[in-house]
């Protein structure tokens, strides 16, 4: 009975605190970025201006808009079918909230028609004070969507389940599990009616059937997070963790041709003087200023004579595709129909032509014997190497020529699994990475040397630090050792603390075991592999790698 009362009071308080939050700024580090609950990133809809400000407080912005594209193509009942969900600017195919799995529809519960923002300082304060008289948990803790409802998935956003009852109870000390020092969570779905796409003809001729178009029947969780870090590479970055759940109950929605892409309209200060490129070594597509002085626009500042570069870096898969397209309706212009988005994700222009190596990849200085899925994949910092395919050297080994800078839009995606069957989950991590020259730039592309170095730092940080929802920092790291390590039976935790928690995560970041005040752990039942062993006290935390081998 006591349990029921506690649960009721928890749910009551949560319902009291819930308020619609359509947008929020992620602003803990050196970036101030506006995020909307429908997945539209970094665009200020009220003003029509860019809202990815970096450095924070400078009035300079590097991205106008970003969104995700998801697609798959198949044949259903003998007819072509395109499953596509995407967004750009003010248009989106995504619905806000999780999937109503029972009715196979978007869940319309008011408590999920929003986004959620939470700071690590709030979580730490809650952990230390939740049981103190007079303490009142903040709305960010109370509102966290740890659990769904009767028609959705039982567990939505991750949380620390202290009593292992599968119920999020913040009034009992439980708390959100996030990444970074600040995070914004989005929950979206793409359940919508299907559309028959036809080509109209002059009457009385009937229209020609082209394909059916609908969603992938997925639920998508996007956690955007950032750090207040002394490391400029990390302080100037925003990280994104995306989980894609196939919530369909019909095998017709099994996908074997799944693609994931990030759309980015890079506007580095002024929109009309940018170049772009792809770096397959660092799994990065990027933009850089195309003139030695970057003017601002619309009341927003440019980067002046200290040029900048902005990239999107994939962190757990190699880059699979990248393309830029021009503003307009040409065959290498803005996508107008689902097959255009599908093609861009697979290395084809709007007219179905493959992307060629060299020139603009379409019809200028191209090598028609060499197709590619990575646009402008050379290194602009190698200025004397005429084999490098870049905006500065588009025609390769021929008469020197330079592209005119412009307003570039790009998409790029990782080599993520192509199989997304019902019940499957695909997780993808990437980062928005920014650099700027400290002094006056003397050469176009000068910031790219720093960008490529920065991506090394970001990747190393991701691989070695962002393994769970809690990251230890040098100023708050608990001292402990594990022995033996590698281990196969009993593992000893050498720790000078009497009150602590231990959480063991597998290589994917999923929780395997949770202990309290235990210093000898039997790992004989663990599978061989690498684990992350995390210790947390009231004021400190730390993580080490654990290897189990039998």
- Pair 57, 192 in one domain: yes
Proportion of the chain above pLDDT 70, given as a percent: 93
The whole-number average pLDDT for the span 316-345 is 93
The whole-number average pLDDT for the span 455-463 is 92
The most distant pair of C-alpha atoms in the chain lies apart, rounded to whole Å, by: 85
Element (H, E) at 310: strand 308-314
In a 3-state reduction of DSSP, which class is residue 69? strand
Q: Is the pLDDT of residue 472 over 60?
A: no
Q: Domain count of the chain?
A: 3
For residue 105, being part of any structural domain is answered with yes
Q: Which of 126, 161, 162 is nearest to 147 (CA)?
A: 161
For residue 524, being part of any structural domain is answered with yes
- Pair 107, 187 in one domain: yes
Q: What pLDDT sits at residue 31?
A: 98
User: What string of DSSP letters covers 322-343?
Assistant: EEEE-SSSSTTS---SHHHHHH
Last residue of a domain, one of 226, 249, 274: 226
The CA distance from 121 to 362, in Å, is 50
- What the block records as the tokens of 306 is 């200290």
- Pair 341, 456 in one domain: yes
- Pair 161, 99 in one domain: yes
| pTM (two decimals) | 0.84
Q: Which of 7-16, 170-179, 330-339, 452-461 has the lowest mean pLDDT?
A: 7-16
Q: Is the pLDDT of residue 522 over 60?
A: yes
- Pair 256, 352 in one domain: yes
The whole-number average pLDDT for the span 334-361 is 96
Residue 146: half-sphere exposure toward Cβ, Cα within 13 Å: 22
In 18-138, alpha helices (H): 120-129
The CA distance from 210 to 339, in Å, is 10
Give residue 91's pLDDT band: very low, low, confident or very high (50, 70, 90).
confident
Of 91 and 380, the structure prediction assigns the larger pLDDT to 380
- What the block records as the tokens of 27 is 């602003």
Give residue 468's pLDDT band: very low, low, confident or very high (50, 70, 90).
very low
State in Å, rounded, how far the first CA of the chain is from the last one: 45
Tell me the average pLDDT of the chain.
91
For residue 310, being part of any structural domain is answered with yes
Last residue of a domain, one of 174, 195, 226: 226
In a 3-state reduction of DSSP, which class is residue 52? strand
Q: Is the pLDDT of residue 281 over 90?
A: yes
Give residue 138's pLDDT band: very low, low, confident or very high (50, 70, 90).
very high
| Contact assessment for residue 219 and residue 424, using Cβ atoms and an 8 Å cutoff | no
| Contact assessment for residue 8 and residue 60, using Cβ atoms and an 8 Å cutoff | no
For residue 235, being part of any structural domain is answered with no
- Pair 179, 117 in one domain: yes
Q: What are phi and psi of 10, to 5 degrees?
A: -65, -50
The CA distance from 402 to 189, in Å, is 43
Q: What pLDDT sits at residue 498?
A: 86
Of 32 and 537, the structure prediction assigns the larger pLDDT to 32
Give residue 475's pLDDT band: very low, low, confident or very high (50, 70, 90).
very low
For residue 430, being part of any structural domain is answered with yes
User: What string of DSSP letters covers 127-188?
Assistant: HHHTTSTT----HHHHT---B--TTS-SB-S-B--TT-SS---GGGT--B--SSSEEEEEEE
Q: What pLDDT sits at residue 509?
A: 65
Q: What pLDDT sits at residue 149?
A: 96
Q: What pLDDT sits at residue 508?
A: 61
Count other C-beta atoms under 10 Å from residue 533's C-beta.
24
All residues at 6 or more sequence positions from 78 whose CB lies less than 8 Å from its CB, including other chains:
none
The whole-number average pLDDT for the span 296-322 is 96
- Pair 427, 531 in one domain: no
Q: Which of 487, 496, 501 is nearest to 541 (CA)?
A: 501
Q: Is the pLDDT of residue 294 over 90?
A: yes
- Pair 449, 483 in one domain: no
The CA distance from 34 to 115, in Å, is 12
In a 3-state reduction of DSSP, which class is residue 253? helix
The CA distance from 262 to 282, in Å, is 16
Count other C-beta atoms under 10 Å from residue 94's C-beta.
25
Sign of CA dihedral 168, 34, 83, 510: negative
The whole-number average pLDDT for the span 180-200 is 96
Could you tell me whether strands 79-85 and 208-214 are parallel, antiparallel, or unpaired per DSSP bridges?
Answer: parallel
- Pair 452, 361 in one domain: yes
Q: Provide the CATH number for the domain around residue 508.
A: 2.60.40.1930
Element (H, E) at 369: strand 367-371
For residue 231, being part of any structural domain is answered with no
SS3 content of the chain, % helix, strand, coil (to 5): 15, 40, 50
- What the block records as the tokens of 253 is 């929605």
For residue 74, count CB atoms less than 10 angstroms from its CB and return exposed for 0-12, middle for 13-18, buried for 19 or more. Answer: middle
| Contact assessment for residue 482 and residue 544, using Cβ atoms and an 8 Å cutoff | yes
Give residue 9's pLDDT band: very low, low, confident or very high (50, 70, 90).
very low
Q: Is the pLDDT of residue 2 over 70?
A: no
Q: What pLDDT sits at residue 317?
A: 95
Q: Is the pLDDT of residue 90 over 80?
A: no
- Pair 270, 374 in one domain: yes
Q: Is the pLDDT of residue 10 over 80?
A: no
The CA distance from 538 to 550, in Å, is 34
The whole-number average pLDDT for the span 134-148 is 96
DSSP state of 304: B
- Pair 256, 185 in one domain: no
Q: What pLDDT sits at residue 491?
A: 96
| Contact assessment for residue 390 and residue 448, using Cβ atoms and an 8 Å cutoff | no
Q: What pLDDT sits at residue 219?
A: 98
Q: What pLDDT sits at residue 479?
A: 87
Q: Which of 59-68, 125-134, 368-377, 505-514 has the lowest mean pLDDT?
A: 505-514
User: Domain of 208?
Assistant: 2-226
For residue 17, being part of any structural domain is answered with yes
Cis peptide before 371 (omega within 30 of 0): no
Last residue of a domain, one of 204, 226, 248: 226
Q: Is the pLDDT of residue 310 over 90?
A: yes
Q: Give residue-wise pLDDT tens across range 156-165.
A: 999 999 998 9
| Contact assessment for residue 476 and residue 540, using Cβ atoms and an 8 Å cutoff | yes
- Pair 311, 444 in one domain: yes
Give residue 328's pLDDT band: very low, low, confident or very high (50, 70, 90).
confident
For residue 233, being part of any structural domain is answered with no
The CA distance from 392 to 151, in Å, is 55
């Amino acid at each position: 009975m006591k349990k029921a009362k506690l649960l009721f009071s928890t749910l009551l308080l949560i319902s009291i605190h819930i308020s619609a939050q359509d947008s929020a700024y992620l602003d803990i580090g050196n970036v101030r970025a506006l995020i909307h609950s429908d997945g539209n990133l970094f665009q200020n809809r009220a003003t029509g201006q860019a809202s990815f400000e970096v450095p924070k407080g400078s009035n300079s912005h590097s991205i106008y808009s970003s969104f995700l594209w998801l697609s798959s193509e198949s044949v259903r009942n003998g007819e072509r079918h395109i499953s596509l969900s995407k967004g750009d600017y003010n248009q989106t195919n995504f619905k806000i909230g999780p999937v109503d799995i029972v009715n196979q529809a978007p869940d319309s519960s008011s408590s999920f028609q929003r986004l959620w923002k939470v700071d690590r300082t709030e979580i730490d304060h809650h952990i230390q004070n939740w049981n103190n008289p007079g303490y009142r948990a903040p709305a960010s803790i109370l509102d966290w969507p740890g659990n769904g409802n009767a028609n959705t998935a039982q567990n939505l956003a991750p949380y620390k389940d202290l009593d292992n009852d599968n119920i999020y109870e913040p009034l009992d000390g439980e708390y959100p599990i996030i990444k970074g020092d600040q995070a914004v969570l989005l929950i979206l779905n793409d359940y919508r009616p299907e559309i028959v796409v036809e080509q109209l003809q002059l009457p009385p001729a009937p229209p020609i059937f082209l394909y059916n178009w609908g969603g992938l029947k997925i639920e998508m969780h996007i956690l955007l997070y950032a750090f207040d870090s002394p490391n400029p590479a990390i302080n100037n970055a925003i990280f994104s963790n995306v989980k894609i759940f196939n919530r369909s109950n019909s095998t017709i929605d099994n996908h074997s041709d799944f693609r994931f892409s990030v759309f980015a309209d890079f506007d580095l200060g002024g929109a009309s003087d940018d170049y772009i490129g792809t770096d397959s070594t660092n799994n990065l597509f990027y933009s850089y200023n195309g003139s030695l002085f970057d003017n601002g626009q619309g009341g927003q500042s440019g980067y002046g004579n200290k040029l900048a570069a902005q990239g999107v870096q994939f962190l757990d898969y190699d880059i699979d595709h990248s393309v830029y397209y021009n503003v307009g309706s040409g065959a290498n212009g803005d996508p107008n129909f689902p097959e255009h988005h599908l093609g861009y994700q697979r290395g084809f222009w709007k007219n179905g032509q493959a992307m060629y190596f060299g020139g603009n990849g379409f019809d200028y200085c191209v090598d028609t014997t060499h197709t590619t899925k990575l646009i402008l994949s050379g290194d602009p910092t190698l200025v004397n190497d005429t084999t490098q395919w870049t905006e500065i050297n588009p025609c390769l080994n021929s008469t020197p020529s330079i592209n005119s800078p412009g307003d570039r839009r790009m998409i790029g995606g990782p080599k993520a699994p192509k199989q997304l069957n019902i019940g499957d989950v695909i997780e993808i991590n990437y980062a928005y990475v920014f650099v700027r020259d400290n002094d006056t730039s003397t050469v176009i592309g000068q910031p790219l040397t720093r960008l490529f170095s920065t991506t090394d730092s970001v990747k190393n940080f991701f691989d070695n630090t962002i393994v769970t929802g809690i990251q230890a920092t040098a100023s708050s790291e608990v001292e402990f050792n594990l022995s033996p390590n590698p281990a196969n039976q009993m593992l000893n935790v050498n720790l000078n603390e009497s009150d602590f928690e231990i959480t063991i995560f597998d290589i994917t970041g999923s929780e395997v075991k949770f202990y309290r005040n235990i210093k000898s752990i039997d790992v004989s039942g663990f599978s061989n592999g690498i684990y992350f062993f995390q210790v947390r006290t009231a004021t400190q935390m730390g993580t080490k790698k654990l290897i189990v081998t039998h």
